[in-house]
A and B are shown apart, each in its own frame.
Chain A
Amino acid sequence: MNENPVALAPEALLLLGAVSILLVGSFVPRRSQWVTRALTALTLLAALAASITAAGDPGEVVYDGIWAVDGVTTAARLIVLPATLLTLGLAIPQVQGDKRETEFSVLLMLGALGALALAGASDLMVLAVAYLLASLPLYALAGFARDPSGTEAALKLYLLGAFLGIAMLLGVTLLYGVAGATTYAELAERLPDAPRAPVALGVVCLLAGLMFKVGGVPGHFWVPDVAQGARTPAAAFTTTVPKVGGLVAAYRVLDAVPTAVVDWPLLVAILAGLTMTLGNLAAFFQDSPRRLLGWSTVSQAGYLLMAVAVAGRADLAMPSLLLYLAAYSVTNLGAFAVVACLERRQTLADYRGLARNRPALAGALAICLLGLVGTPPTAVFVGKVVVFGAAWDGGFAWLVVLAAVNTVASLFYYLRWLASAFGTDAASTGTAARAPDEDRAGTWWAEFAAVTAGASVIALGVFGGPVLELATTPLLR
């Protein structure tokens, strides 16, 4: 039995950090809460360093085959940890001086830990635990502001999470029942001989839970409410980081289920198609930037699911998923960072005059929104090309066409926002004067996060090739 504790060093660092920062936070006066924020950043950086150090190692599956530490897990760490750092940065204007700032940082770390556990899980029981660990901090984060809209968001998130979590546990039970084992390696061995009906039901139930994490149909109902109702940093984190864990987890577990027993590729493809279409249609006439972003993350989940649908059937499936996840995380967080700087602008129309007043933010917004569309040379463009290529290669040409049509449709609502920010028609001069003047103090960090994200979006797009090479690693179970 492999019990190499060093293999899980980044996760262990996160856990230790979370617990000790919670303790430190209770002894630090409110004025000096920035100490805990700095400690959180240090912990995340340490975990990142540990991940990079371990990146070259040959993969292994540790603790009796329940936790895979392979190239895919490493990639998930390299996506989740910087994404969490970015969230920490864009949260500063919101949480600075808040009496529960420490709790916010700790919840972020625990949420990131949950996402990493999901990404590494190679056993149904670990998957179930990881699901809980990845969900519970988010409930608290969503309701962090203790205002009515935040409470509603948290309640919706909690109810859906609890309901689909139970469905997932049912799926775990069913699969354990028919296979007599919980590790993916054993599942892959035994499921081909298992009766089809319970396996199919088990897979469907399992997927239901993961769809909640991914924010895809049918587990998407919480997304727009959390995006709009929760505080911006919580919304940014909840719509980004859990997706990384959820999609990698879905990929790993589905890869272990033989397609001869259950035709899950078709099921996932249909869910992908539904998710991207619904997300796009719903985003069309949204007037709140955050709600619009929320629905846009739903549609992005649809594109991401395309890669899962061809898991194991196209060479590019895993690398394209990881590349798209990295691209999506930084782009989505960049867009949320801009929103975090301009908290008082509540509607798209409020963004008028942004290009003139805050050119750096307007530039970051343009890059991130066009990035979400998939305009070259941004990161999501490369992600889309490889994901579409993988999906076509895996036999889902119709899904590629649907995704292309959706991409065009998505341009419409992103452009509504951009047109407002860059608009020069006569009306804008009038509204610009009335546009709420931002409190610039404190948004420096969030602006920095937005600009960093914007630059990374371009860099990741231009250097997408080498990143794709790095993401091409075998999946262990």
Chain B
Amino acid sequence: MLSVVVFLPLLAALVLLAVPVLPGRAALAVWVTVAAVELALLTGMWLAADLGAGVTDGLDYEQRVPWIPGVGSSYHVGVDGLSLPLLLMTAGVFLAAGIYSLAEDKRPREYSALFLFLLSMSLGVFASLDLLVFFVFFDLSIVGMYFVIAGWGHAGAARAALQFFLYTFLGSLAMLVAFLGLYVAAGTFDMVELARNPPLESKPVAAGFVLLALSIGLAVKTPTVPFHTWLPPAHTDAPAAGSAVLAAVLLKMGTYGFVRIAMPILPEAWRRYALVFVVVGVVSILYGALVALAQDDLKRMIAYTSVNHMGYVLLGLGAAGVLSGGDAEQARAVAVTGAMMQMVSHGLITAALFLLAGVLYERGHSYDMRRYGGLAGPMPRFAALFAVGAFASLGIPGFTGFLAEFQIFAGSLATVPVAAALGIVGILLTAALFLAALQRVFAGPAGELTERIGGVPTVRAGGKAVKTGLRPKLRVDVNPRELAAVAPLLLLALVLGLVPRPLLDLIEPAARTVTELVS
């Protein structure tokens, strides 16, 4: 069942490539349909799932077929409370990106096939329970995203795509070295077996190096400071749907790797170096927010807030590894739960923000916030949607972002109070930067691009209103297609923020297992 979910999009992609006569619109419709089917299947699996503690035990929809028995690797997939939320989020984000892209007119068939391929690979990453299989999907998702950026990006795309590929490939190779180290120590690539009997417990030096290689690999993907430099150009030059998928899904592969691989398989080393992760998390929070504050480019700004948001995740996971007496167990589990929540929350909200950035680019052909202003006039619905997204992202109560960050801070205050306090400063900075952005783009006098977009009647010399090029509001403001892509994401972030119990019930057992494993 799970394998069907993973490979169905790939199959659809192959069909799309094999049938060249298919019109572009139909090809894009296939993307939307397949993503919707995936979402429905995964939701059904969630409702029917019989999940236990997760990670080492009680996984559902497990399937294991020998792949390279010579090195103890098998095609092993399954879901638990760590992977299922991300699988659902992935399908949802791809559905939204598909709806958004329905009007894509640049080689739509290939575009659709590429995204379906990416969907398969992303689901595969979160579903796999074997390090080699995980690596296969992880690497292929990079290849897919490279072609998305290089083929459909903006002006500087070739360079940004190359940088993206080289950087994240470096990360994945560091990760592969770590996997080989685990294999040489344990004789298997199976994550469940490795988590049950963590290798390298008695070899602290080797464990340290393996964790180092693994962390570099995952930190590049996440990305955390100082490995984040590939992210802003990749986002700036990627098409909107590509950006949304990159931020919402591909970044999660890094943080997911920390929870799924680093913590359960190298618990000893994770505890020993937990403070390093806390520090890297806090630095990412503050640095990401400060740099975002200084951006004039809307997409770069959102990209840097991703660095900031992933910093919270790392703070929570690091805090879970800091042991301070037996009573903090509950708090540490809360931190891990918060980190998982943050992954889902960031996926939904940032995907919406990047799609909205795409809406803006389609009208003004620029992300430069200095050239907009007063956009709330011609585009009121866009302004409203963006404001909702911005508030959700800065962690206003009611949305998932608030819940996730609250849990992370509540959990980490118990073990690393200073870091938590510093992290809260990050929230203030995020609030400031989003408010500043809202003000620059939507309030104030109309900027040059606002005039061009809206054909706003502005008072010119001689006091005469010039109404050249005035277009009907419907075409200027967010159209139904864009609304259908963005609104559900934000709505979901709101609903899950108000009624978090189902999601928490899914995450909490697995988060507790991870906490126990690193205890």
Give B70 Cβ to nearest chain A Cβ, in Å. Answer: 4
B516 interface residue per 8 A CB criterion: no
Q: Please, what's the 1-or-0 string for B152-191, where 1 marks a CB less than 8 Å from any CB in chain A?
A: 1000011001100110011001101100110110000000
Q: Is B68 an interface residue (CB 8 A)?
A: yes
Q: Which residues of B contact A465 (CB under 8 A)?
A: 66-70, 73
In the bound complex, how far is the Cα of B66 from the Cα of A293, in angstroms?
A: 34
The segment out of A107-115, A171-179, A296-304, A387-395 that lies at the interface is A387-395
C-alpha gap A393/B73 in the complex (Å): 16
Nearest-neighbour CB distance to chain B for A353, whole angstroms, equals: 13
Determine if B46 is an interface residue (Cβ-Cβ < 8 Å): no
**Contact A375–B184 (Cβ < 8 Å):** no
How distant is A22 from chain B, measured CB to nearest CB, in Å?
A: 42
Contact B158 A411 (CB under 8 A): no
Contact status of A400 and B180, CB under 8 A, knowing A385-B132, A464-B68, A469-B69? yes
Contact at A419–B150, with CB atoms within 8 Å? yes
Bound complex: CA A231 to CA B73 (Å): 42
Given A370-B143, A415-B162, A377–B136 Cβ distance below 8 Å? yes
A357 CB, min distance to chain B CBs, angstroms = 14
A154-188 CB mask vs B (1 if < 8 Å, else 0) is 00000000000000000000000000000000000
How far is it, in angstroms, between the C-alpha of A123 and the C-alpha of B165 when the chains are bound? 47
A284 CB contacts on chain B under 8 angstroms: none
Among B66, B161, B184, contact of A389 (Cβ-Cβ < 8 Å): B184
Given A465-B68, A468-B68, answer yes or no on A388-B180 (Cβ-Cβ < 8 Å): yes
Q: Are A408 and B158 within 8 A (Cβ)?
A: no
Q: Among the listed A316, A412, A422, which residue makes an inter-chain contact with B70, where contact means beta carbons less than 8 Å apart?
A: A316
CB pair A389–B140 under 8 Å, yes or no, is: no
Q: Is B273 an interface residue (CB 8 A)?
A: no
Secondary structure of the B side of the interface?
helix
Contact present for A407 and B173 (CB under 8 Å): yes
Q: How far is the CA of A385 from the CA of B73 in the complex (A)?
A: 11
Evaluate whether A376 and B140 lie within 8 angstroms (CB atoms) in the complex, with A422-B150, A468-B70 already known: yes
A93 within 8 A of B: no
B428 on interface, CB distance cutoff 8 Å: no
Asked if B147 is an interface residue, CB under 8 A from chain A, the answer is yes
Contact across chains for B70 and A411 when beta carbons are under 8 A apart: no
Q: Given the complex of chains A and B, what is the CA–CA distance between A407 and B174 in angstroms?
A: 11
Does A472 lie at the interface of the complex (its beta carbon under 8 Å from any beta carbon of B)? yes
Within 8 A of B (CB), among A378-409: 381-382, 385-386, 388-389, 392-393, 397, 400-401, 404-405, 407-408
Interface of chain A residues 56 through 72 with chain B (CB within 8 A): none
Say how far B190's CB is from chain A's closest CB, in angstroms.
14
Partner of B169, one of A411, A423, A468: A411
B358: min CB distance to chain A, Å: 18
Which chain B residue shows the least CB distance to A416?
A: B162
Q: Given A370-B143, A376-B135, check contact A385 B176 (CB 8 Å).
A: yes
Q: How far apart sit A9 and B177, CA to CA, in the bound complex (Å)? A: 43
Is the beta-carbon distance between A385 and B71 smaller than 8 angstroms?
yes
Is A209 interfacial (CB 8 A cutoff)?
A: no
Which chain A residue lies CB-closest to B175?
A404
Q: Are A404 and B68 in contact (CB under 8 A)?
A: no
In angstroms, Cα B67 to Cα A392, docked, is 21
Decide: A386 near B68, CB < 8 A? Known: A392-B180, A408-B170, A419-B162: yes
Closest CB in chain A relative to B127 CB, distance in Å:
16
In the assembled complex, the Cα of A131 lies from the Cα of B340 at a distance in Å of 61
> Known: A419-B162, A422-B151, A469-B69. Contact between A408 and B143, CB under 8 A?
no
- B184: nearest residue on chain A (CB-CB)? A392
Is A425 engaged at the interface, CB distance under 8 Å to the other chain?
yes
Which single member of A319, A375, A382, A422 contacts B147 (CB below 8 Å)?
A: A422
A377 to chain B: which residues have CB within 8 Å?
136, 140
Chain B residues whose C-beta falls within 8 Å of the C-beta of A316 in the assembled complex: 70-71
* A376-B162 in contact (CB<8A): no
Expressed in whole angstroms, the minimum distance between the Cβ of A432 and any Cβ of chain B is 15
A429 on interface, CB distance cutoff 8 Å? no
Bound complex: CA A381 to CA B136 (Å)? 9
The CA of A469 and the CA of B183, in the complex, are separated in Å by: 18
Q: Is B297 an interface residue (CB 8 A)?
A: no
Q: How far is B97's CA from A297's CA once the two chains are assembled, in angstroms?
A: 41
Q: Is B139 an interface residue (CB 8 A)?
A: yes
Asked if A32 is at the interface (CB within 8 A of a chain B CB), the reply is no
- A382-B68 contact, Cβ under 8 Å, with A389-B184, A423-B158: yes
Q: Provide the bound-state CA to CA distance between A106 and B411, in Å.
A: 75
Residue among B67, B71, B161 with most chain A CB within 10 A: B71
Tell me the complex Cα distance, A401–B177, Å: 7
Contact yes or no, B173 A376, CB < 8 A: no
In the complex, A231 Cα to B245 Cα: how many Å? 45
B176, A408: Cβ atoms under 8 Å? no
Q: Kindly state whether residue A424 has any CB partner on chain B within 8 Å.
A: yes
* Residues of A with C-beta under 8 A to B174: 404
Complex Cα gap A405–B217 (Å): 12
Q: Which B residue sits closest to A468, measured CB to CB?
A: B70
- Most B Cβ at <10 Å: residue of A381, A400, A408, A469: A408
Contact between A389 and B68 (Cβ–Cβ < 8 Å)? no
- Check if A419 sits within 8 Å of B158, measured CB to CB: yes
Q: A221 to B73, alpha carbons, bound, how many Å?
A: 39
Tell me, in angstroms, the Cα distance from A89 to B18 when the chains sit together: 25
Enumerate chain B residues within 8 angstroms of A405, measured Cβ to Cβ: 173
Q: Are A408 and B169 in contact (CB under 8 A)?
A: yes
- Known A-B contacts A316-B70, A385-B132; the reply to A425 vs B166 at CB < 8 A is no
Query: Of all chain A residues, which has the CB nearest B74?
Result: A465
**B165 interface neighbour in A376, A401, A411, A469, Cβ under 8 Å:** A411
B71, B136, B184: the one within 8 Å of A376 (CB): B136
Report the separation of the CA atoms of residues A319 and B152 in the bound assembly, to the nearest whole angstrom.
Answer: 42
B177 touches A400 (CB 8 A): yes
CA distance A423 to B159 in the complex (A): 11
Chain A residues lying within 8 Å of B136, measured Cβ to Cβ, are 376-377, 381
Contact between A386 and B162, CB atoms less than 8 A apart: no
Query: A308-325 vs B: 1/0 string, CB under 8 Å?
Result: 000000001001000000
Q: Are A412 and B166 in contact (CB under 8 A)?
A: yes
B residues 82-99 touching A (CB-CB < 8 Å): none
* Chain B residues whose CB sits within 8 angstroms of the CB of A472 once the complex forms: 70
Q: Report the Cα distance A385→B135, complex, angstroms.
A: 11
**Given contacts A386-B68, A415-B165, A465-B70, A425 and B140 within 8 Å (CB-CB):** no
> When the two chains form the complex, which single residue of B69, B73, B151, B173 contacts A408, counting CB atoms closer than 8 Å?
B173
The CA of A389 and the CA of B187, in the complex, are separated in Å by 10
Min CB gap A386→B, angstroms: 6
Residues of A near B161 (CB, < 8 A) are 419
Given contact pairs A385-B180, A408-B170, A423-B158, A319 touches B132 in the complex (Cβ within 8 A): no
Q: Are B150 and A423 in contact (CB under 8 A)?
A: yes
B70 and A404 contacting across the interface, CB-CB below 8 Å: no
The listed residue with most B CB atoms (<10 A of its CB), out of A316, A375, A465, is A465
Near A by CB (< 8 A), chain B positions 401-418 give none
Question: Which residue of chain A lies nearest to B178 when distances are taken between CB atoms in the complex?
Answer: A404
Return chain B residues, CB-CB under 8 Å to A381: 136
Contact between A392 and B181, CB atoms less than 8 A apart: yes
What string of 1s and 0s marks CB contacts (under 8 Å) between B8-51 and chain A? 00000000000000000000000000000000000000000000
CB pairs A–B below 8 angstroms (26 shown): A316-B71, A373-B169, A375-B143, A376-B139, A377-B136, A385-B180, A389-B183, A404-B174, A404-B176, A405-B173, A407-B173, A408-B166, A408-B169, A419-B150, A419-B158, A422-B147, A423-B158, A424-B152, A425-B157, A464-B68, A465-B67, A465-B69, A465-B70, A468-B69, A468-B70, A468-B71
Beyond contacts A375-B139, A385-B71, A405-B173: 12 other A-B pairs, Cβ-Cβ < 8 A, are A373-B169, A377-B140, A389-B184, A404-B174, A404-B176, A412-B166, A415-B146, A419-B158, A423-B150, A464-B68, A465-B68, A468-B69
Q: Which 5 A-B pairs have the closest CB atoms?
A: A376-B136, A465-B68, A468-B70, A404-B173, A408-B170
Chain B interface (Cβ within 8 Å of chain A)?
66-71, 73, 132, 135-136, 139-140, 143, 146-147, 150-152, 157-158, 161-162, 165-166, 169-170, 173-174, 176-177, 180-181, 183-184
